[in-house]
Every structure is written in structure tokens, then in C-alpha cells.
Amino acid sequence: MSTAAIQKNLPWKTVWITGASTGIGREIALLLARAGLTVAASARRADMLTGLHPNIHAYPLDVTDGAAVAQTVAKIEHELAPIDLAIMAAGVYQPISADQIDPAVFSSLMGVNYQGVVNALASLLPVMRVRGRGHVAWIASVAGYRGLPKAAAYGPTKAALINLAECLKPELQRQGITVSVVNPGFVATPMTKDNDFPMPFLMQPNEAASRTIAGLAKGKFEVAFPTRFVAILKFARCLPYGLYFWIISKAILK
Ligand SMILES: NC(=O)c1ccc[n+]([C@@H]2O[C@H](COP(=O)([O-])OP(=O)(O)OC[C@H]3O[C@@H](n4cnc5c(N)ncnc54)[C@H](OP(=O)(O)O)[C@@H]3O)[C@@H](O)[C@H]2O)c1
């Protein structure tokens, strides 16, 4: 679907996006703002949230601060309108080797990537439940499908987010709340700019934003892209451990 076609058929009016200062979150904020939606944009760097578009309103925030998240959700609902869709894109990444197990790094990644989403849900779900409608979505990753070398700190945060979505979807659906999990492959953003390995099927962030919004507008549970990379990784997810680890050691660790 073209961006213009996506923009004509959006089922939301007010959207809250975390991780909106750069990368995928920023592109999603711009796409939705250009489509005429009211966008509340959050991230820690306030200066990166201002002047993006007249429809984008800055709500600077650290997602690991539960009290600040609660205040921000209340402020957005008071100052703008009820949040129809929340997209939690805030995330951090750090590659580590097996000889670099630093609990502080693991805790930091889990704090932003996973607990940050839980903090948002704790404030969003009660108000959406009262309204009997709403859509919550978070960006996990294809890195959450199966364990990958160097991803020991990052991968488990994304696997946890996929599992969280599976846990919550059936119950929340009965309450009128849609749950979606977005699983991108490699996207060219500040997060991946220092990667020193080939990134197959690398996608631009505006394309990732369009794919995300097209999937969410259809109410999909999982929005995953690029299609061919996702198919390969989903196939790898079905492989028995012996074969999977043989391929990993031959193809990735070499
Ligand atoms: N790029 C990829 O290849 C790829 C692939 C799969 C999944 N993802 C996921 O997609 C999401 C967006 O990543 P990206 O590639 O767009 O990376 P990015 O450009 O580095 O964006 C990360 C965003 O998260 C925000 N953030 C980080 N820590 C935060 C905190 N404590 N509180 C609030 N905001 C925080 C950053 O803003 P501030 O620094 O201003 O706070 C920034 O806006 C992440 O969840 C990432 O894991 C990315």
C-alpha cells in the first residue's frame, strides 16, 4: 500500500509515540502528523521533539521512570485528547560477547526496552478499559525470535516483548483493546549505524514506518518486515537446536 493510501484510511485521531526523537519512532510520528493526526511524541531529548511538524506535540520523558510515564499519559489525555493508539518504540541496543556479561548492561536494556513498555501499559490500559477501546503496540524485533550471537543483552528484551504481547492479547481483546507487536528486521537508524557486520535486507526508517502503520491500521497482531527476512527467520525458529546451532556457528560465528 502506498503512503498516500495508508494515510487516507487511518482509524485513529490521537496517537502517543515513545522513542519519537530519532529513527523509526520519529518517522512514524511524521507520517501520522502529515496524515492529519494529533501526535504526542516522547523521548528523553526534548530538543529533538520540537519543530518536527505542527501536529506533533512534545512530551519529553524517560520511559524507565514509572511516575513520569503516568503523569505524561494523564497530561496528554488532558491537553490533547484520549489516546487512541500508543506505539512504544523507545529502545536501546548494545552488542555484547559471551565474555562481557555485565549485569548493569542487561538491567539497563531490560529497563528501557521491556519495563518501559510495562510502565506505559500500566497507565494506558486503565483509561482504555474504561472507554472500552484503544490500541497498544510496541516495537520488539526479529531478534526476539531466537537467540543470536552478540545479542545476549538485547535479544531477551525483545523475546520478552513478543511474549508479553501474546500474554495480553486475548484478555485485552475482550475489553475492546487491540494489542500489536511490531517485529522489524534491520532498519538504518542511529541504533544500527555502528554495526560492523553486513545487515541483510536493510530497510530505510520511512519504509519501516509505512509498513508499521499499514499493519497497525489493519489491526494485525504481528507486524513483521521485511517479508523475506522474516520468512527466513521464522523458518529458522522451527529448526531443531542441533541444526540451528550448526548454521549459526558456520554462517555467523565462522
Ligand atoms: N533499527 C533496527 O534495525 C531495529 C530493528 C528491530 C527493532 N528495532 C527497535 O525499534 C525501536 C526504535 O529503534 P530505532 O532503530 O529507531 O533506534 P533509535 O533511532 O536509536 O531510536 C531509539 C529511540 O528510543 C528513545 N529512547 C531511548 N532510551 C529512552 C528512554 N529511557 N526513555 C525514552 N526514550 C528513550 C531514543 O530517544 P532519546 O535518546 O532522546 O531518549 C530514540 O528516540 C527500538 O525499540 C528498537 O529496539 C530497531
Which residue, judged by its Cα, is nearest atom 46 of ligand 1?
91
Percent of the chain whose predicted confidence (pLDDT) is above 90: 93
| Burial classification of residue 188, based on how many CB atoms lie within 10 Å of its CB (0-12 exposed, 13-18 middle, 19 or more buried) | middle
17 with 89: CB under 8 angstroms?
A: yes
User: Could you tell me how many residues make up the chain?
Assistant: 254
The ranges assigned to domains in the chain are 3-253
For a mutational test of ligand 1's pocket, the pick from 16, 17, 22, i.e. the residue with the most ligand atoms closer than 8 A to its C-beta, is 22
What is the rounded distance in angstroms from the CA atom of residue 156 to the CA atom of residue 146? 9
- Which residue is it, cell 518504540? 89
Phi (first) and psi of residue 132, to 5 degrees: 70, 20
Q: Which residues are catalytic?
A: 154
What is the average per-residue pLDDT within 152-178? 98
The pLDDT tens digits of the residues spanning 51-88 come to 999 999 999 999 999 999 999 999 999 999 999 999 99
Q: Whose CA is nearest to atom 26 of ligand 1?
A: 90
**Residue located via cell numbers 526496552:** 113
Q: Whose CA is nearest to atom 11 of ligand 1?
A: 89
Say if CB 77 and CB 84 are below 8 A apart: no
Residue whose C-alpha cell reads 521485511 in the numeric block: 226
Question: Is the pLDDT score of 9 beyond 90?
Answer: no
Q: What is the pLDDT of residues 96-136, one digit of tens each?
A: 999 999 999 999 999 999 999 999 999 999 999 999 999 99
Tell me, which fold does domain 3-253 have in CATH? Answer: Rossmann fold (3.40.50)
The pLDDT mean for the chain works out to 96
- Could you say which DSSP state residue 239 is in? S
> For ligand 1, what atom is nearest to the CA of residue 88?
45
CA 23 to centroid of ligand 1, rounded, Å? 7
Contact 4, 213 (CB under 8 A): no
